[in-house]
């Protein structure tokens, strides 16, 4: 049973399982907000949307208060929420995990109604739906991705105009070559032909039409 101002396991070491991830996440439960929790694993703060919480349980092993470095954001406040965490993370080198896929590293550049834009050296500008983010780890300011200098990886603006919602954004990309879900499935790479009643039509490498429901699209980017 949850309590009004947090969770009874606050301050304890816990193990958390999120959907589609082979391994659990463990650490000290630092914060429990209205739609996000925070773990500290001894090195990083891990921000996990509550909608991704599949299972959580206490585990043996105490963690002292001195194990917590300075947080990237203000915790334990009425303003702590999923959206505010994303807004505060803009421009910070971060690690994100999307539906159990390998972590992606880069910078969060924009936050819209139901998606955000993540600029990655490997994937360029990725649009990520809020409901599919598994976790976010903001790194300390002195950490540069892949040991690149700021001149080698400048935070560039998105090369196209942004819409308020993910579906509207998909409509703006009709007739462009796109990659869905980071290209994990070759059939989800191709020409975006249109969207009708939440069904996306792509033309794959063979020129065949492939249909995908919008709810199963975690990310989209234009290479």
| Chain mean position to CA 56 | 20
How far is Cα 183 from Cα 179, in angstroms, rounded to an integer? 6
Per the DSSP assignment, residues forming a β-bridge with 128 are: 116, 219
Query: Which residue would you say has higher pLDDT here, 149 or 26?
Result: 26
How far is Cα 50 from Cα 58, in angstroms, rounded to an integer? 17
How far is Cα 81 from Cα 162, in angstroms, rounded to an integer? 23
Q: What is the pLDDT of residues 158-193, one digit of tens each?
A: 777 899 999 999 999 999 999 999 998 999 999 999
pTM summary value:
0.88
Examine the pLDDT at 156 and tell me if it is beyond 80: no
Burial of 5 (0-12, 13-18, 19+ CB in 10 A): exposed
Structure token pair of residue 157: 């603006």
Structure token pair of residue 177: 């070559």
6-15, 43-52, 74-83, 90-99: which has the minimum mean pLDDT? 74-83
How far is Cα 97 from Cα 101, in angstroms, rounded to an integer? 6
CB atoms within 10 A of CB 33: 22
How far is Cα 10 from Cα 29, in angstroms, rounded to an integer? 5
**Mean per-residue pLDDT of the chain:** 86
Q: What is the pLDDT of residue 65?
A: 45
DSSP per-residue letters across 53-108? --EEEE-S----GGG----SS--SSTT-SHHHHHHHHBTSEEEEEETTSPPEEEEE
Continuous segment of H or E residues that includes residue 169:
helix 166-172
Q: What is the pLDDT of residues 80-129, one digit of tens each?
A: 899 999 999 998 889 999 976 789 998 999 999 999 999 888 888 999 99
Continuous segment of H or E residues that includes residue 124:
strand 124-129
């Amino acid at each position: 049973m949850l309590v009004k101002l947090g969770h009874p396991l606050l301050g304890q070491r816990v193990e958390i399982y999120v959907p589609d991830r082979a391994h659990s996440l463990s650490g000290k439960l630092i914060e429990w907000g209205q739609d996000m929790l925070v773990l500290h694993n001894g090195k990083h703060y891990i921000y996990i949307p509550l909608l991704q919480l599949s299972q959580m349980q206490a585990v043996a092993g105490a963690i002292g208060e001195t194990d917590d470095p300075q947080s990237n954001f203000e915790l334990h406040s009425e303003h702590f929420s999923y959206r505010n965490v994303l807004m505060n993370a803009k421009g910070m080198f971060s690690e994100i995990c999307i539906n159990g896929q390998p972590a992606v590293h880069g910078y969060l550049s924009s936050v819209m109604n139901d998606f955000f834009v993540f600029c990655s050296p490997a994937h360029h500008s990725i649009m990520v739906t809020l409901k599919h983010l598994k976790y976010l780890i903001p790194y300390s300011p002195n950490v540069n991705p892949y040991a690149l200098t700021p001149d080698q990886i400048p935070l560039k603006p998105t090369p196209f105009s942004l819409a308020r919602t993910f579906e509207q954004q998909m409509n703006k990309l009709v007739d462009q070559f796109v990659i869905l879900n980071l290209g994990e499935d070759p059939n989800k790479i191709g020409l975006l032909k249109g969207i009708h009643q939440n069904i996306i039509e792509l033309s794959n490498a063979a020129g065949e039409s492939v249909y995908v429901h919008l709810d199963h699209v975690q990310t989209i980017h234009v290479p």
